[in-house]
């Protein structure tokens, strides 16, 4: 039987995108990632309290995503992640294929290990490029004039996602299936399993504790950093060595 990602969230009440963003926009947050099998994902979602809500748009609960990541010629963004620099940035375009909407997103990491995300709506496009407005936005958020003009597309990621929200605690949970990472030149790898991510304003919460009780622990994973290292042998992968060996396949 083919695994249906939306089957994980059918028992939860529905929530719309605006209501979800009002409760758990989480532009400042702590992220933890887990990789589990499909059967483990089913068991884990069955353990979650029925008070959670699931994102639903036009009757759908699973959505296709595609992102292009951008970096300098010497991969400054990648290297900052690979070598665990406390302050770092990441630039990508994110496209919601079902809704035909695109965003430019900039993620920063502060000295506390907290992710700070800023977004700018863009015209719908699958092209690996930044608009003039997106370029200005990136420079302003990162705080470096001229940075965006030096960026080039380096990696595309695609996957299907479901999203769940703990309304009471403002915690968001996503589950991604079929995660694929592909370079501009066409080299690609994929993640074997379901990528579960918790996004919380605090260091941990109820959802993480359920995962821990199910025997799962956070893994080191950056779709951009780990994906690029898994494809290019010459890049440092020491931070993600175990994750790549256990969960990535060519």
- Per-residue confidence in pLDDT tens, the chain, 250 aa: 578 999 999 999 999 887 777 765 555 567 899 999 999 999 999 999 999 999 998 899 999 999 999 999 999 999 999 987 878 899 999 999 988 889 999 999 876 667 788 999 998 888 899 999 999 999 999 999 999 999 999 999 999 999 999 888 888 899 999 999 999 889 999 999 999 999 887 777 789 999 999 999 999 999 999 999 999 999 999 999 999 999 999 8
Quick one: pLDDT at residue 161?
96
Burial of 100 by CB count in 10 Å (0-12 exposed, 13-18 middle, 19+ buried)?
Answer: exposed
- Note the pTM of the prediction, 2 decimals: 0.91
Strand partners, 35: 195
Burial of 31 by CB count in 10 Å (0-12 exposed, 13-18 middle, 19+ buried)?
Answer: buried
Closest to 98 in 3D by CA, of 127, 66, 52: 66
| Pair of tokens at residue 112 | 């506390």
């Amino acid at each position: 039987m083919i695994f249906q990602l939306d089957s994980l969230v059918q028992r939860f009440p529905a929530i719309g995108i605006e209501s979800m963003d009002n409760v758990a926009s989480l532009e400042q947050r702590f992220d933890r990632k887990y990789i589990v099998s499909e059967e483990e994902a089913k068991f884990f979602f069955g353990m979650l309290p029925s008070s959670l809500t699931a994102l639903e748009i036009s009757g759908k609960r699973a959505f296709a995503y595609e992102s292009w990541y951008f970096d300098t010629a010497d991969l400054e963004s990648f290297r900052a992640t690979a070598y665990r620099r406390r302050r770092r940035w990441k630039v990508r375009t994110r496209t919601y294929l079902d809704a035909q909407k695109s965003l430019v997103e900039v993620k920063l990491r502060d000295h506390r290990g907290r992710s700070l995300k800023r977004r700018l709506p863009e015209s719908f496009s699958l092209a690996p490029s930044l608009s003039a407005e997106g370029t200005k936005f990136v420079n302003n958020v990162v705080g470096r004039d001229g940075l965006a003009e030096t960026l080039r597309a380096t990696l595309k990621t695609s996957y299907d996602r479901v999203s769940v929200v703990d309304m009471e605690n403002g915690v968001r949970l996503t589950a991604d299936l079929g995660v694929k990472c592909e370079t501009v030149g066409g080299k690609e790898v994929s993640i074997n399993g379901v990528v579960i991510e918790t996004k919380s304003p605090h260091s941990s919460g109820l959802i993480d504790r359920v995962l821990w009780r199910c025997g799962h622990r956070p893994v080191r994973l950056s779709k951009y950093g780990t994906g690029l290292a898994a494809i290019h042998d010459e890049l440092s992968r020491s931070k993600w060595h175990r994750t790549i060996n256990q969960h990535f396949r060519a």
